[in-house]
Amino acid sequence: MEISRNNKFLGAELAAAMEIEHKYRKQGYTVTRDYVFEGNRVDLYAEKDDIKFIFEFKARPFTHNERSYFEHIRTKAKEQGIHFRVVIVNVPRSKEIKVEGIEETIFNSFMESIPDALDQLSPHTTIEGIETVEINCIDIKSYDEIIIRGSSAVTVTLNYDKDDDEGYTDSYPFTFEGVWSLKSSLIQLSHFNSLEINTNAFYK
């Protein structure tokens, strides 16, 4: 599935914002996303002592209105002693999509509540791991609603006797659509809109 051009731009801008946020937090800055400045919402605001920065991230070509807007923000920021930066983001040409930490969020979700398709395979099903996720599509609505569709496989140990430490280990593919949010540069899984685990091999 092809990712729309607009979502590629949004994804690149979001990734750049995450990197800048992480960098400045490590340096002791207080960082705020979607900060309201002079009645306008700017991408990122960082402050430490008397040093202040406003960041805007741009992957798409500038429009005339955007140039005027940035000049307005630059002027107002300068009046208040705030450094203003427009970060030009290069959109990767590769079609490979990676979201750092997505496997861990899915693993934690499965550990908290084992999906029924896996739980019914044995009286004592244990989640062992999630393989590398292949992402098909990302739809970024906001920092609190990042919809990701993709596929992976889950490794489980099936145990029919709780006193038996051996069990039977197998792996089952699955597809999903989930909603993630972004908190302090880390993604968090809110819920799955859909989750299909193929356990047909178990019954053959």
Q: Write down the domain spans for the chain.
A: 5-88, 102-203
Contacts of 201 (CB under 8 A, 6+ apart): 170, 172
Same fold, 5-88 and 102-203: no
pLDDT of 8 strictly over 80: no
pLDDT of 32 strictly over 90: yes
Taking the C-alpha atoms of residue 177 and residue 193, their distance in angstroms, rounded to an integer, is 5
Taking the C-alpha atoms of residue 45 and residue 111, their distance in angstroms, rounded to an integer, is 36
Average pLDDT over residues 101-110: 96
pLDDT band at 2 (very low <50, low <70, confident <90, very high): very low
Taking the C-alpha atoms of residue 103 and residue 109, their distance in angstroms, rounded to an integer, is 10
Tokens found for residue 186? 């880390």
CA distances from 178 to 13, 43, 187 (A): 21, 25, 12
pTM, 2 dp: 0.56
Mean pLDDT of the chain: 87
User: How much is the pLDDT for 28?
Assistant: 96
pLDDT band at 200 (very low <50, low <70, confident <90, very high): confident
Model pLDDT for residues 155-165, shown as the tens digit of each residue? 998 887 766 55
CA distances from 58 to 34, 37, 73, 171 (A): 14, 18, 15, 42
Pairing of strands 51-58, 145-159: unpaired
Contacts of 28 (CB under 8 A, 6+ apart): 48
Pick the CATH number of 102-203 from 3.10.450, 1.10.260, 2.60.40, 3.40.50: 3.10.450
Task: Using the CB atoms, write b or e for 83-111: b if 16+ within 10 Å.
Answer: ebebbebeeeeeeebebeebeebbbebbe
Average pLDDT over residues 58-80: 87
Q: Is pLDDT larger for residue 184 or for residue 80?
A: 80
Taking the C-alpha atoms of residue 63 and residue 68, their distance in angstroms, rounded to an integer, is 9
Q: Which fold has domain 5-88?
A: Trna Endonuclease; Chain: A, domain 1 (3.40.1350)
